[in-house]
Amino acid sequence: MIPIKSAKEIEKMRQACRTASDILDRVSDLVRPGITTKEVDEAAADFMSDAHVKSAFLGYRLGHRVFPKHLHFAQ
């Protein structure tokens, strides 16, 4: 069964996407040679705190492992 979203739920999803996009834009402005992924992650944590949101990745359990960072860096 495919769940049908209400207009209110869709608006909440749009707002969440805007917030995530804003945070990623701010983080991407910091990326430069010499900055560590730890520094980027710490900045992302600050930006998320300012926006009153939490990371979907931090603390995510996969088997016996727990994801340790706020952002996931894909290559």
Average pLDDT across each block of 10 residues of the chain; the chain has 75 residues. List them in order.
96 97 95 94 96 92 88 73
Per-residue model confidence (pLDDT) at position 75: 64
Task: Give the start-to-end residue ranges of the domains of the chain.
Answer: 7-66
Per-residue model confidence (pLDDT) at position 1: 93
Per-residue model confidence (pLDDT) at position 62: 86
Q: From its phi and psi, is residue 26 left (phi > 0), alpha (psi between -120 and 50) or beta?
A: alpha
Nearest to residue 45, comparing CAs of 65, 34, 59, 32?
A: 59
Give burial (CB, 10 Å; 0-12/13-18/19+) of 70: buried
Per-residue model confidence (pLDDT) at position 30: 95
Per-residue model confidence (pLDDT) at position 55: 93
